Structure 1
Amino acid sequence: MGEIQIRGLVHEYTNPHTRAVVRALEGVDLTARDGEFVTVVGPSGCGKSTLLYLVAGLLRPSAGQILVDGRPVRGPGADRGMVFQDAAVLPWRTVRQNIGHGLEIQRVPPAQRETVVARFVALCGLSGFEDKYPHELSGGMRQRVAVARTLAVQPKVVLMDEPFAALDAQTRITLAEELLRITDQTRSTVLFVTHSVEEAVFLGDRVVVLSRRPGRVKREFPVPVPRSQRTYEAMVHGAEAEELRRAVFECIRGEVAEGASGTEGAVQPGPQPRGRWWRHRTVLGLLLLLLGAGAFEVASGAAAPAKIHPSLRAALAADPSAALEVRLAVPAEEFHVRALQRFGVLEGVQGDRIWLRDLRPDAVGRLARLYWVRGVAAREKP
């Protein structure tokens, strides 16, 4: 089972700049039946992604209720999986390790974990890439890894926030066709947010259109073509699909036109900032922060040579592609890996150590200036 029930959902937040209270969603009522693929579209800023984050438990509603299989959502849970626009895969883990990451967290035994990973490697078209790292894959392949990782833990509900938005048109079509095939086999309930009407009609069993902010369910369109019978050619050139796309587009365009005519709901003003002295105090604080950061950078630069092992320069002079070991002051996290990938090719990560090769000419000195780098040395192999 994986039924989603949303009743009278309201979500408000405070604009950090104007301190105005903004109502993003108001009175949303929506049900996604078990195994149904529901796509959500609407004008920009209508609260589509906010709705998804509320169902995921990443945000709390101001009012209303969200139920998954009759149980209220009070936070993130293993019964819901999320796929973001950015693939968000772990750069220091292989395809196989990324897909099995959620299973590791759930303490699934290694033998069973390998069986599940192998199934989703094959299901998502990743065979032959199991031992590749994310930087060796295309954007479309990385997104396949993200989808496989989410589905591998067998969530009842899969939430997808424009997962194909950053991909080229051909890759989007290919992945959309594969997603239909995969979800038809896994029978997960899917809530899929997109800006593309074509994508919404192609993927969804039902298309839900949200109104302009504050977002409400304006209209729902059932897709008459069964999921198993949908092909790109049929959904692009078929008269039935074309008529449905036109109806969805006109529904959204009507909302955009009403918003442009000035009928957009007003927001409530919150407490306003105090007088000019408050702004002066903020500017002073920013200046002090910048001065402090500059002093810290100078201090880090002065200490940088002491972080470089004497044998490193000789090793790089003999072989510029030699692997370099960066020892961190803390255990390596994704932030550190992403930062160091700017200086060379990632070789591996273990604990507080990261190995790079093929460094840029100025990389060693710049690496040593990073405050979270404890030392830099040569290393033959990661």
Structure 2
Amino acid sequence: MTDLSQDSWRIKRDLENRLGELIGGFGYNHLETPILEPTDLFLRKSGGALASRIYSFTDPGSNLVSLRPEFTSSIMRHYLECAEDTPLPVRWQYSGPVFRYELSHPEASGQFTQIGAELLGSPSITADAEVLGLASQVVSQSEVADWRMALADLDVLNSVLDAVGVSERAKTFIIQNVPKLQQGKQVIPQVLEEAHRLHITGQGTREDYLVEAVQGLDDSQARVVLRGLLKWNAADQVGQRNADEVVGRLLRKLRGTDDGKSLHRGLELASDLAAVHGEPKVALRDAEVVIQAAGAETGAFERLSQLLDLVLSDSEIGGHMELDFGLVRGLAYYNGIVFEVTHPRWPEALGGGGRYDGLARALGGREVVPALGFAYNLEALLAVGKGSRVKRATESSQA
């Protein structure tokens, strides 16, 4: 957190206003949300990525509240509260302070300004292309040169994992470990150990055997199999407990685990896909090899190919984009496309975004609301923009 002189404040406000006008020109109306919100709003679908980075406290009414670490959850919360009076699609933009604790470099923790846009209510490829195009115009309007946009599609990875037959819990685990899997297949044994520790796989040969025994069966069929195994192998251990109760408990446990072979194959394929990055058309061909090896459905891959045909003709994106299937971003609410914009003179992403169709349901909505958006760190844009203007103005004011 830093102070700004009047000159630096004026430069920052000027860029904020210009970017707001740019985004507004695409039909995005301003929406202001509270700085302070219930902590649960930010944690419900973010996974563990934000839990240790949020400034939280208990208010005088004994409610756990947090300084907002991002805007997206608040935007979706607002929509759900006003859904009856808000026809879809709806476009909103925002700017304001957010607060995060940075574990890797605490000296950079605190407050920064986030500016972004969200498009709710459209699942189409044209909506994806609109948001990617607008995100690229924002960084160009900020007079930033040499920026790169990395794009991935989590639906492509999910299609590969679906072909293997792993559970939703295992898919989430694999996606969270994609950054580690980018190092190569030599890390898979380490990742499998973590899966055993989290009870994602059976804890031994016996449980792996039982998982395979009930795989592909509905619950009633699986209960018959397990009841027979129980009578044959463990009748003396049941004692006075009701056999149906034991079978039910065991089935719930097995349904929550994956067999080791499927998980191992899923990790191998995820590692192969995470290694794919580079010029979009070349990377797309490399990704297709992995998809074919998995025997996966090609719908998500074809959708991504169509999206690239749309956005690569945009002069604002042009030579700035690359595909990077090792990109998953940090928040668990993303599905579909995800992207990040980087610059060689800034240690982290300038900004990024993606699609988050499941967030509305996670926040209590009754229906799926297709949605996507992006956000930038305004101070980062200023720092790498033409002449690093805020820094220069600050130095001149101190002279």
Range into which the TM-score falls when normalised by the shorter chain: under 0.3
What TM-score do the two structures reach when normalised by structure 1? Answer: 0.24
Which structure is richer in relative contact order (CA contacts within 8 A, separation 6 or more)?
2
Higher helix proportion, which one?
Answer: 2
Which structure has the larger Rg?
A: 1
What TM-score do the two structures reach when normalised by structure 2? Answer: 0.23
Higher strand proportion, which one?
Answer: 1
